[in-house]
A and B are shown apart, each in its own frame.
Chain A
Amino acid sequence: MIDANQGLDYAGALALAKAGRATGHPLVRGTPLAHGLRRVCRAQAKGGHWRSRWASAEYDLVALRELAGRKASISGNRTSCDSAAWKAGLDSAALAREHGLPVLPHFYKEYDTALACTIPDAYGVESFDWVDGLIDRPVRIENGHAYPSDAPGWGFRSRTTNSSTWRC
């Protein structure tokens, strides 16, 4: 998995892909380029305005396909799980499907595992292992797969150490 959100632009990604190919380590054969659609991600994260950015999304998709064939994925940062954000996420999945691309949510697996199970073309969910120590029921990982919880709600509760209570 190659994540290019630390400064790599499209031209840099192309150069890296070529360099990898030259050294016998093709970077984009079967590996998604996370954050390939950074503009879409940012628009989604901001919410409300992302639909107006379809043009750039389409442009990036074309660029990604040129770079990675049909192995690229749509990646998105979902900063909230309200109904509007969920709808936006499903729209992203529909856009990905339209272009024959898998979907990479790029958020916490504690939330994404269950949601990614609702679409047929999820490429995977990201695991931040340090979260395991902060919650009471870590996600089960076996053979490279994450399993959604069958516990109520998201299936976990945060462990808190220093709490204060407000009554409303």
Chain B
Amino acid sequence: MIRFLVARLKLADGTEGEGYLLAFHFSTEAIRGALADVRALAMGREADATRGIRPCLRRGVRVFWQHRPAALGPGHRQPRDVGCTGAPVRPPRLAVAGGKAQRVPTYGSGGWLSIPSMKLLAEASGYVRRGFTAVKLKVGSADLERDVERITKVRDAWAQRSG
């Protein structure tokens, strides 16, 4: 199951932004508790100076950040991302960043090694239907031949669907 915790920040001047934490199956209550600790340390800091808070986190909530409670599993570091993506809700990001291009190529994610071939092909077909022209496949199976077989099947199916 994929779950997100979203932190939405609204400043006194009306500036609003939000950050997220990809929570997966980790304990949301534990994460909420960690965020409560972070809140006190984060207040008053510049919104775009998120890295500067890390030393404070290590000092201020040492147990959480260094002993990695099992309740949070490997996602224990992710609460630091909350707020990182908080951006002033003003001009479009493209304008802020000074982008010139109007579009970029994209590819469909997925292709996990845990997915059986039939599901893999269905996933690729779905991407073709939705206007994608490329898809990602994970490789690195214990059996090299399995990787080659999966790639071959998807490429053949893709050629049929998109052709």
Contacts and interface: CB of A to CB of B under 8 A. Distances in A.
Interface size class of B (residues with CB under 8 A): 35 or more
B57 interface: no
Interface string A48-80: 100000000000000000000000000000011
Given A117-B102, A118-B97, A151-B92, A6 B84 contact: no
B130 A114 contact: no
B20 A147 contact: no
Contacts of B107: 1, 124-127, 144
Contacts of A145: 103-106
Interface in B1-60: 2, 4, 6, 8, 17-18, 20, 32, 39, 43, 48-51, 54
Contact of A81 (B43, B80, B84, B135): B84
Contact of A34 (B4, B91, B136, B155): B136
B93 A127 contact: no
B85 A117 contact: no
Interface in A119-159: 120, 122-130, 134, 141-155, 157-158
A2 B39 contact: no
Interface of B: 2, 4, 6, 8, 17-18, 20, 32, 39, 43, 48-51, 54, 80-81, 84-85, 87-94, 97-109, 111-113, 130-140, 144-145, 147-148, 151-152, 155
Interface of A: 1-8, 12, 15-16, 19-20, 23, 25, 27, 34, 47-48, 79-85, 109, 111-118, 120, 122-130, 134, 141-155, 157-158, 160, 163-164, 166, 168
Closest 9 CB pairs of A and B: A144-B133, A117-B99, A80-B84, A8-B140, A7-B140, A124-B105, A146-B106, A117-B101, A1-B136
